[in-house]
Amino acid sequence: MSTNREFAAVILAAGKGTRLKSGLHKVLHNIAGRPIIEHLMASVEALAPARTIVIVGDEREQVIGQLGERAECVVQEPQLGTGHAVAQAKDALAGFDGDVVMLLGDAPFIKSDTMNDMLARLRAPDAPAVVVLGFEPEDALQYGRVITHSDMTIEKMVEFKDANEAERACRLCNSGLMAARSEVLFDLLDRVDNDNAQGEYYLPDIVNVAVKEGRTCAAVVTDRPHEVVGINSRKELAAAERQWQDLKREEALENGVTLKAPETVFFSYDTDLAPDVTVEPNVVFAPGVKVESGSRIRAFSHLEGAHVGEDCEVGPYARLRPGAVMEKGSKVGNFVEMKKAVLGEGAKANHLTYLGDATVGAGANIGAGTITCNYDGYFKYKTVIGERAFIGSNSALIAPVKIGDDAIVAAGSAVSRDVAPGELRMVRAEQLVKPGWADRFHDTMKKKKASEKKD
C-alpha cells in the first residue's frame, strides 16, 4: 500500500443546530475569536489535501460565504443521516484515487497529526477498508462503542442503546471521525441501510458492513479526548471555550509567560506572547495580538490587532484596537485607547488619552486628556507627533496636524495648525479676571435663599 497517496477531506456541516437556537449556522459560532469550522479548516489545510469537500444543508449560504473558494460545498437535501451526508460527495469525488478523511464540522479541535495517524493506519500493509478514530473519555456516557480485537482491528461498532452489558463496559468510544480508501468507501455506503429508529443512514455502519464482508477495519486511539468534542448547544459551546482557554493558558505558562490569575485571562486563537511577558488579571486578547518579551499587560486591559514591543507597559484599563503598535519601552496607562497608531520607543501616554490614526515619536510625552481628533464624519486624518514632544493635559490635536520634535503644546490647547520643532504652542482664550465678583455673588445668592425660606 502506497504511503504517498493523495487524500480528500469531507467535512459534514449540514446539521440544523436547532439546540443552539440561533440564526447563525452552528459551525460559524466562535471559539477563541474564530468560527468553529475555521479551527477545523486550519488543521485540514496544514496537511494540504488534494480536495476539501464540505457537506452543507441548512443555512448553507452562511457556510459557503465563510469558506469561499477554499472548499467545494455539496448540498445534502434532505438530511438523512451522516452516512447519507458522506454519500453526497460521491459525484464530487468521481475519478479521485486516494484516501478520504471524514470529519465533523462541529468537532473543531482535531489535530493535523491525529489525521496523519489515521491516514498512516489506512495505508498500512494490511490495507484496512476503514479506520475509526476512537477515544476513551472519563465518562463514556451514551457514546457508541468500538469493539476491537487485541491488535486494534475492529470486531464491530455498536450504538450504546443497542449494546449489551459487556459491550457497554468497553471504554473505547466512537468519535465519529473516520478514514477510508476511496475505492471502497462509496461501495460500502451503498450497502448501508436505514433500518433503525430514526430511519437514517449512519456512517459508522460502513464498518459493520465491511467486517461482515470479511474486510479488515482498524481503530486509531487518540490520547487527547478534547480533540473530538462536539458542539451542539450553547452549554457545549461554553464548555468548548473553557476547554480551549484552559489549554491555551497551560501552553502560555509552559512557554514562560507569567499569568497572575490564569483563569481570568482570555486568549484568541492566534495570540502570540513571548517568554517573560507578564499578564495581570482580567485581560482579554482578541484576534491579532503579539506581545514581545519583557512587556507587562496590566489588569482589565483589552487588546485586539495590536503589536506590543519589548519592555512595554499596557494599562491597567487600557484598550489597544487594530493597528496599535507600541515600540520598545513605551507605555500606555489607565483609560488610554489606541487605534491605528504607533507609539514610539520610550514614549508615554499615561492616562485618559485617545490616540487614533497617529504616529508618536520616541520619547514623547502625551498628557492626560489628550485627544487626536481624527474624524470629521466622512474621512480620517493623521496626527504626527515628533520625538521628545510634550503634549500638555487636556489638549485636542485636530488632524491633519504635525507636532515637531521637542515641541511643547501647552495644557488645554486646541491645535489645528502644524507646530514647528522646538516651538511652544498655546491656544487658549484670554482669561477674564473680576476681583471680588465671586464674593459678591455668594453674598447675593445666600440672601436670596434665606429670603425664600422665610416665605
Active site residues: 351
In degrees, rounded to 5, the angle at the alpha carbon of residue 197 between the alpha carbons of residues 225 and 187 is 70
Closest CA to 399 of 355, 453, 335: 355
Helix, strand, coil fractions of the chain, as percent rounded to 5:
25, 30, 45
**At CB < 8 A and 24+ separation, what contacts does 306-314 make?**
306/338, 309/345
Phi, psi of 248 (to 5 degrees): -70, -40
The number of beta carbons lying within 10 Å of the beta carbon of residue 439 is 9
Axis-axis angle for helices 182-190, 205-212 (nearest 10): 100
Side-chain half-sphere exposure of 148, counting CA atoms within 13 A:
20
> For residues 396 and 67, what is the distance between their CA atoms, to the nearest angstrom?
44
Cell of 431: 482669561
Cα–Cα distance measured from residue 132 to residue 153, given in angstroms and rounded to the nearest whole number: 10
